[in-house]
Amino acid sequence: MMLAFASPSCCSVHTSSTCHTLLRELEQIWKDIGETEADKDHMLSELERECLEVYRRKVEEAANTKACLHQSVATKEAEVATLMAALGELNVNSLKQPEKKSASLKEQLALVTPLIDDLRVKKDERVKQFADVKTQIDKITSEISGYSNIINAVSSLNLEDHDLSLRNLSEYKSHLRALQKEKSERIQKVVDCVNEVHSLCGVLGLDFGKTVSDVHPSLHETSLGQSTNISVSALESLEQAIFRLKTERKVRYQKLKDVAGLLFELWTLMDTTREEKSKLSRITCVLRLSEAEVTEPGALSLEVIQQISTEVERLTKLKASRMKELVIKRRAELEDICYKNHIDPDPSTSADKSSAMIDSGLVDPCELLENIEAQISKAKDEVLSRKDIMDKIDWWLFACEEENWLEDYNQDYRRYSGGRGAHINLKRAEQARIKVTKIPVVVNALINKTLAWEDEKQKLFLYDGVRLVSILEDYKVVRQQKEESKKRARDQKKLHDMLLAEKESAYGSKPSPRRSSSFRKANGYHANGHGSVTPSPRRSSMSCATPELLTPRSNSVRHNGYFKEMTRLSTGPLNFVAMAKEDTVSFSSISGSDPESPLQA
């Protein structure tokens, strides 16, 4: 059925039939085939789409043709506008506007084409006129050495601008008439430039003849009144020479001004006498004038600048030797303030660096002194802001010292003896126990206060270069491990007591002759001259949980021995094995070396 539908006979019938007839015939064919309504609707939709596609393609082709015509007309009209603008004729376009509005695109194209041809012919004629005028200009300007190149450059520039109007042609003719006047002006300009070079060379102490010869040899060989070299190169060389000389004058004047300013400061600082100042009065008088007013020969010569620079250097060395002593003194004061308050001073102004910088001349001693003064003020402000925290640190250090003393005291078997001074130790032990119970609270409060200080100041609270919070956290860890070790020691002691009690019940008590001597040796206590027992210092990884880093330098005699272990803990892992081992040794010393010896009261 589909083949029959596509046969040539069917196509012939379709071509000769109207759309309505074709549609009825198509419906009959579909009916004969047995197509469903859905298939019919689908095929009708496809048929409509194909028809629309054909129409759309034809419309696009027509639109493209129209766009091409529009583009051609616009291009030619733009060329017409460009030619008329170049020729300075602006009335042709207005005459053609009414015809353009009523004509089709093809008619417009046919209308513009002959107009373009006419304008092109007119442009060629105008270009020939310009070429004739420019040839005459080039011929005249060639009489002025080097000047014809500029005229050619100007002519080329105007041609590139496509300005072929009669007005521009008239300007070229006017320029030709102005060439003779330009020549006389150039001669006068050369004379003025040479005179200015002569004046500048005198002020700077330079050789005028050599300077002018370097600019252009002909300027020195010919007298000023007969100078005829007015070429562009000669004028440019003179202007460049004047610019260089003025720049050099400006540099020397500023240098002389700067050096003289230093000289005046040194004179005031060193109380220079009037007689010494009068030796350089001629030089200093120049500074009362502006740069352009300095005309005295040799006023800005290198010899003058060197003379005043030598004097400044001599006075500067004398000043530096005096300022160096003051800088070192103030730096020592800064270091003393920082040392007492455990603050790291600024290393950039250390005594060695300051001395080296002053000796090498890399820094002004006055500026260095001002910097140190600012550092002292800053250090004092920081000391004031750290005062509350430092007071709590001192309390903590003293409490840790008392805790260590209390541990030694508790291991003294003679602490309850009736000797002289025993009541003093008992009272101190009571006060020490009160302080020890407050240590955890004080440490936590100190951490919180330090963190608040860091938040407020937006920097770390350093104690001798180490962050205080880190040291306190390490101390808390060590203290916790210490408490755990003590608990283990107490548990072991209870177990040992139970074993001893069982042995005593089974075999009877047996005194140990070695216990007394071993205990006394382990504790390290000795009797003082009053008969009381005073603990001698002992060191262990558990009792020395306070960092040496935090020892107030003003109280270093009292505290310094208690903080070496914490410095190690804050820079490396905690040695819990050593702590446990020491606790075992202490427990063995208390219990006695003989496991069968009973504890004595």
DSSP for 529-552, please give it: TTS-EEEPP---TTT--S-GGG--
Region for residue 163 given its phi and psi (left: phi exceeds 0; alpha: psi -120 to 50; beta: otherwise): beta
- Confidence grade of residue 447 (pLDDT, cut at 50, 70, 90): very high
pTM of the model: 0.40
Burial label, 15 (beta-carbon count in 10 A; 0-12, 13-18, 19+)? exposed
Query: Tell me, what's the pLDDT at 99?
Result: 55
Look at 230 and 431; give whichever has higher pLDDT. Answer: 431
Query: pLDDT class for 509, splitting at 50, 70, 90?
Result: low
Biggest CA-to-CA distance, the chain: 147
Host H or E run for residue 170: helix 166-177
Q: Summarize the confidence of residues 37-50 as an average pLDDT.
A: 87
Q: For the packed helices 365-410 and 351-360, what is the interaxial angle rounded to 10 degrees?
A: 170
Cα–Cα separations (whole angstroms), residue 412 to 196, 426, 482, 536: 104, 12, 20, 11
Cα(259)–Cα(252) distance, rounded to whole angstroms? 10
Mean per-residue pLDDT, 448-465: 91
Structure tokens, 431: 């006060």
Give the pLDDT band of residue 554 (cuts 50, 70, 90).
very low
SS3 466: strand
Judge whether residue 308 has pLDDT over 80: yes
The secondary structure of 111-165 as a DSSP string is HHHHHHHHHHHHHHHHHHHHHHHHHHHHHHHTTSTTTHHHHHHHHHHHHHTT---
Q: Please check the confidence at residue 558 and state whether its pLDDT lies above 70.
A: no
- Give me the pLDDT at residue 424, please: 86
| 3-state DSSP percent of the chain in helix, strand and coil, to 5 | 75, 0, 20
DSSP run (H or E) holding 463: strand 462-463
What confidence score (pLDDT) does residue 567 get? 43
Q: Where are the alpha helices (DSSP H) in 6-91?
A: 8-16, 19-33, 37-87
Structure tokens at 310: 């030598």
Which residues make Cβ contacts (< 8 Å) with residue 102, sequence separation at least 6? none
Closest CA relative to residue 284, chosen from 310, 304, 313: 304
DSSP state of 589: H
Inform me whether the pLDDT recorded for 225 exceeds 50: no
Strands 533-535 and 462-463: unpaired
User: Do residues 442 and 395 make contact, with C-beta atoms less than 8 angstroms apart?
Assistant: yes
User: Rounded mean pLDDT of the chain?
Assistant: 75
Which single residue is written with the structure tokens 């007005």? 167
- Is pLDDT above 50 for 544? no
CA atoms within 13 A of residue 21's CA, in its CB half-sphere: 7
Cα dihedral sign, 160-164-165-168: positive
At 95-129, the pLDDT tens digits run 455 455 567 878 888 888 888 888 888 888 888 88
